[in-house]
Chain A
Amino acid sequence: MSSSWKRVFLIGMIAAVAAIVAGSVSQHASARSSSSKADTLTIMGFGTGDDVAKSRTAIAVKALGSTNVKNPNGGFNDQQFLAALAGGDPPDLVYIDRQKVGTYAAKGAFVPLTSCVKSEKINTKQYRQAALKEVTYKGKLYGIPEFYSVRTIIANNDVLKESKVKLADLNTKDWKTLKQATKKLVKIEGGKVTRIGFDPKLPEFFPLWAKANGVDIISKDGLHAQLNSPKAIQALQYAVSLINLQGGWGKFKSFRDTFDFFGAGNQYAKDQLGAFPIEDFYYAVLARTSPQVHISALPFRTRKGKPINYETGSAWAIPKGSKNAKDACLWMKTMTKPSTWLVAAKNRAAARKAAHDVYTPLSTANAVADAQIYKTTYTPINKYFDEGVKTVQGVEKYSFYIPASPASAEFKTAWTDAVGRVLAGSQSVKAALNQGQKEAQTAINKAK
């Protein structure tokens, strides 16, 4: 290569490297400068979503006035959020599962909302207390709760009638009767399960079974796992026994996996299920896909007979380093205000009516909003679904929550894995929960 070519090559390489470096620096700088402007609100994890989200977003955007709202589609993604944090450019506001709030709060990734609540005069009393406590860590509020999932038992009246089982027999207070009812409801033909009698919904509803038996699987401060307490062990032993008398986990789950859960041929429409506890959104699914099904709704009950609800849901939180915490706070307040929820509910009810579609009321973490929504927008569907809606409303006040923990992901994995080992037959209930307890407590101790 001649010396002139060498020079051209070297200059070219230097120019290319300089261009790349300059490009990345300017991009970084422009990203910083644009997001550092107080007239932009960057949101992560929400998106424009469904009609309810759109209605509420329109109101919140209006409330923010001239502020430019960046609200890209897609749910909250831990890796994306961590990468943004590591890059020093976190979003101004995140929409996240309430169970994750404690972990991020413990690591200092979210800021307490004390000053936000004070400056925007947010009335925290309007929110459901279980949801509010779920996003409270070490006495400080880190999130504003949004939706609110309620878990009740939905029974299939036709299957009950065919099996000569009374609705009252599906009372989780009376374990012996429930077991007998399950035996009558289940159908096993040619060694295969063709109908599940009563599905205890393991592993995901283990906290509900434990609480109904009188124990929280983690202490109120979120720092002490209680997975291997005698009552938790007893609860899991019972719930697993329900599966074992319905063919065992292999047959049970492989049949359950065949359910057309969100379709017109769902397990109620096809009489493939006697009853199971499920989140309230499922009433809306059934009402839209198979309004002809004959269902009954029952509250899950403690061993003493009191209704009980395992609540979960989403929340808004402000990350540390948010460049527009003021607008983030106003956004959270506006999105969760009763008047905003009501507009969204009215819009949905009108849209459904116009499409001759079924409307079921929204279930939010704002008790005031829920009361207004029900009163203003709900029109009866049929006696089965109306009863379901009433049951959901009736159990909302009996809610419990899994307290915020500095290691919520590890804690959840520990108990889910433990239940999984029992179901797979790898371990006894006691051994599995002992191992789960050890794993969970070790993770919490490391994180706190």
Chain B
Amino acid sequence: MAAAATSYAPGPRGRVRRWASGFRKPETWTAYTFLSPWIFGFVVLTAGPMVASLILSFTDYSIISPTHGVGLQNYHDMVHDPKVTGALRNTLIYTVWHVPGVMLVSLGLAMLLARVGERSGGIFRTIFYLPVMTPKVAVGVLFLLLFNGSVGLINRALAVIHVPGPFWTTDPHWVKPGLVIMSLWAVGTNVIIYLAAIKGVPRQLYEAASMDGASNWRRFRDVTLPMISPALFFTFIVLTINSLQTFDEVYTAFFNEGVAGGSSGGPDAARFTVIYLFQEAFVFFHLGYASALAWGLFAIIAVITAVQITVSRRFVYYEANR
């Protein structure tokens, strides 16, 4: 068996040869013709800048002054920079709250939508998706208005049920929870993904479960969840990556001098990794150091994603693999 497996798995050379031999077929040329705009864009606009930033991360590049190689100094400084530690802590705390929060709210809404009729379902899908189209800069400004400690809508609503609202925008303990709550507003994309997954679950599985006397909760836990687990896993990965790169709305709310509550400094509690990276690059012009920060963040995201993929093998059900 092992010998058979060895004979079928080509080595690197074999794989290259097989890839090259594909060019004898006309379909390969057609495929590459259609792919060429993307390949060009990827090489010039993504891979190129990535390689450039990797090289710059070993320099003191600042655009204006002459550039010198600094070896690993930027990475050394990054590890010993307390602001990097603070920014990473903020980002991770936000991610730990934001990702499950968005997944739970999206799943709840998708479950509700799955139960309503096709026509009203369409209306609700549109309503839930509308906030996704709101510019994130506008969301940042809205955050300051809705979460104002004195007259914000959130605290007014809490006051109705006799709960004194916190100072979301000024109290360092409440800045991140406020941002997480605000982020739940734009769950439309995930709702659509979950709804599609839920609608794809075979009806006969529910019928069989019902005949076995399964309650609603058991049917959700033992049928729905396993069957939509690939969709859950996909959003889990994407949300985590996006969350670790949060920038626009937080920068607008707290770090933009043009906005009422903003100042160039901004509160430490809202200084996320990409915000610090942006400040280093485009406020202080430390582009070499900022490149090192970008690669540091890339490494962290890669590790977290790898862990998620490894762990997910135990929880995600792929019908094709069974």
Contact = CB atoms under 8 A, between A and B. Distances in A.
A413 B150 contact: no
Contacts of A76: none
B183 interface: no
* Interface SS, B side: loop
Range for the number of chain A residues in contact with chain B: 35 or more
A195 to B, nearest CB: 12
B171 A250 contact: yes
Contacts of B64: 82, 85, 104, 107-109
Contacts of B305: none
A191 B150 CA distance: 10
B268 A426 contact: yes
Contacts of A412: 264
Interface in B118-154: 144, 148-152
Contacts of A82: 63-64, 282, 285
A193 B150 contact: yes
B284 A424 contact: no
Interface stretch (A43-51, A252-260, A328-336): A252-260
A9 B29 contact: yes
Contacts of B152: 254
Nearest to B265: A416
A1 B33 CA distance: 12
Contacts of B260: 257, 261
Contacts of B269: 424
Which of B62, B166, B170, B263 neighbours the largest number of chain A CB atoms within 10 Å of its CB? B170
A6 B25 CA distance: 11
B33 A79 contact: no
B150 A192 contact: yes
B36 interface: yes
Nearest to B62: A107
Interface in A364-384: none
B256 to A, nearest CB: 13
B101 interface: no
Given A82-B64, A107-B65, A254 B149 contact: yes
Nearest to B258: A75
Contacts of A419: 265
B165 to A, nearest CB: 10
A91 to B, nearest CB: 14
A188 B292 CA distance: 49
A420 B63 contact: no
B172 A250 contact: no
Interface string B274-309: 000001001111000000000000000000000000
Interface residues of B, number: 38
Which secondary structure dominates chain A's binding surface?
A: helix
Given A254-B150, A417-B268, A79 B282 contact: yes
Contact of B263 (A410, A420, A443): A420
B265 A258 contact: no
Contacts of A258: 148, 150-151
B257 to A, nearest CB: 9
B167 A254 contact: yes
Given A250-B149, A413-B279, A424 B267 contact: yes
B177 interface: no
Contacts of B117: none
A420 B284 contact: no
Interface string B165-180: 0110111100000000
Interface in A212-255: 249-251, 253-255
B151 to A, nearest CB: 5
Nearest to A407: B284
Nearest to B24: A1
Given A5-B26, A426-B172, A413 B283 contact: yes
Contacts of A109: 64
B26 A250 contact: no
Interface in A388-416: 407, 409-410, 412-413, 416
Contacts of B265: 203, 413, 416-417, 419-420
Interface in B58-73: 62-65
B242 interface: no
Contacts of B230: none
A13 B36 contact: yes
Nearest to B147: A254
Nearest to A86: B63
B268 A250 contact: no
B63 A254 contact: no
A2 interface: yes
A420 B149 contact: no
Contacts of B63: 82, 85-86
18 contacts: A1-B26, A1-B29, A6-B29, A9-B33, A79-B282, A107-B64, A107-B285, A193-B150, A203-B265, A250-B170, A251-B167, A253-B169, A254-B148, A254-B169, A413-B283, A416-B263, A416-B265, A421-B268
Given A78-B282, A424-B170, 20 more contacts: A1-B26, A86-B63, A104-B64, A204-B263, A250-B167, A250-B170, A251-B150, A253-B167, A253-B169, A254-B169, A407-B284, A409-B283, A409-B284, A412-B264, A413-B284, A417-B266, A419-B265, A424-B172, A424-B267, A426-B268
The 10 closest A-B pairs by CB, nearest first: A250-B167, A1-B26, A416-B265, A254-B149, A107-B64, A254-B150, A417-B265, A1-B29, A82-B63, A250-B170
